[in-house]
A and B are shown apart, each in its own frame.
Chain A
Amino acid sequence: MTNLFGTNLHLPEGYMAGIAMHEMSLCESILQVLEQQAEAQQYSRVKTVWLEIGALASVETEALRFSFDVVVQGSLAEHAQLEIIEVPGQAWCMPCGCNVVVQQLYDLCPHCGSHQLQVNSGDQMRIKELEVE
């Protein structure tokens, strides 16, 4: 693995540096998991990584794809394909007493307009499965 934040790294124009750095450190965490699992699961190459990313997880998937390709250079996951499964946001509406779909944390209940919502799905960031050899 090369120096991930080395001086030769140039982010494309238009990326807010702070946000891209966030996805970059998430990708470092992903790579750590892939490396840790390599021994236990007896693999030497990772071909595909399936991620489950919630709509409310504050992850920019395009920045994540870009960062992933940079971070895995020279590692066991170099050239691995990233498959992102997007999970919709869901919250429990207290006045309605049922689950509703939300796109953003500040959304109101689509039925009653209340903001008494408790997010119960869609904030996850998980590595689901891998294709390895």
Chain B
Amino acid sequence: MCGVCGCGEGHSHSHDHDHEHPHDHEHHDHDHHHDHDAEHAHAPGLSQKRMVQIEQDILAKNNRYAAENRSYFGERGMLVLNLVSSPGSGKTTLLTETIVRLKEDLDITVIEGDQQTTRDAERIRATGVPALQINTGKGCHLDAHRVGHALETLQPKNHSLLFIENVGNLVCPSAFDLGEAHKVVILSVTEGEDKPIKYPDMFHAADLMILNKTDLLPYLDFDTEQCIQYAKQVNPRIKILSLSAKTGEGMDSWLRWLKAELELQRIDYA
């Protein structure tokens, strides 16, 4: 049972675990509880069909947790970015290269989302900043509830920078708000310029697109102008940066963007 969200009473954990037997057992107990409640309401004379108006957003629960996370971040003046991309776009390399350049000046923490393994969190920790790995198991995205629990463990500092590296997936994470200031979508030039229109939801949800691995452009038929045009077609407000995390080319603009965004979060509004 969790003090913040009372999650011990719900089903929200059930899809997060690798269903070991002891866990299954525990959840069956919860299930009985629900069934019992349902039976309890089944009083004689009430078993007539009727209509009930619900009018509730399917993602309302996630959105409530996201709102809690957002106020947590706001109170602490933190900049929180949700990094999304397909697998292999170079998110983790971009992160480690970013951290190496900023860690002397800023407090940084990282939440790593992957279906399995703690490899990415280990790569981040090797740079010397705290990182927490969340394994989603068969789940395809991080949700705001799990991020909330990660914050309890990580205890990020005031005015710090938190990167949430989402599961490599250009589909599902677009629908799940984590409470971040911005979604940043990373697209590597090896993936093809048509990704923004093939996976429009993600590019629509992002505020910044990073075109990564530009050092490989001489070897590819990647049409940068066309890619930018597609991205703006899906999302006229999107900002785009081109860089190579490997060679460092273009990293300066990204670091300046990060510092400027963090500065905005530090402003105390009335």
The chain A residues found within 8 Å of chain B, CB to CB, are 1-7, 18-19, 21-22, 24-26, 28-33, 35, 37-39, 41-45, 47, 51, 56-58, 74-76, 104-106, 108, 115-117, 119, 124-133
Contacts and interface: CB of A to CB of B under 8 A. Distances in A.
Contact of A25 (B46, B49, B139): B139
Output the residue of B11, B12, B19 with the most chain A CB within 10 A: B11
B98 to A, nearest CB: 27
Contacts of A42: 41, 46
Interface in B194-212: 196-197, 200-201, 203-204
B19 A6 contact: yes
Given A32-B61, A39-B41, A126-B55, 5 more contacts: A1-B31, A21-B172, A38-B41, A132-B50, A133-B48
Contacts of B31: 1-2, 74
A121 to B, nearest CB: 14
B171 A18 contact: yes
A52 to B, nearest CB: 9
A87 to B, nearest CB: 13
Contacts of A127: 54-58
Given A18-B171, A21-B138, A33-B60, A4 B34 contact: no
Contacts of B214: none
Output the residue of A6, A116, A132 with the most chain B CB within 10 A: A132
Mostly, the B contact residues are mixed
Output the residue of A104, A106, A126 with the most chain B CB within 10 A: A106
Interface stretch (B148-156, B218-226, B231-239, B243-251): B231-239
A5 B127 CA distance: 36
Contact of B230 (A5, A6, A44, A106): A106
B59 A125 contact: yes
A129 B51 contact: yes
Given A41-B52, A44-B47, A104-B200, A22 B141 contact: yes
B84 to A, nearest CB: 13
B172 to A, nearest CB: 4
22 contacts: A1-B11, A3-B14, A19-B171, A21-B138, A22-B141, A25-B15, A25-B141, A25-B143, A35-B11, A44-B46, A104-B200, A106-B230, A106-B233, A115-B236, A117-B236, A127-B54, A127-B56, A128-B54, A129-B53, A129-B54, A132-B50, A132-B52
3 closest A-B pairs by CB: A44-B42, A105-B200, A22-B172
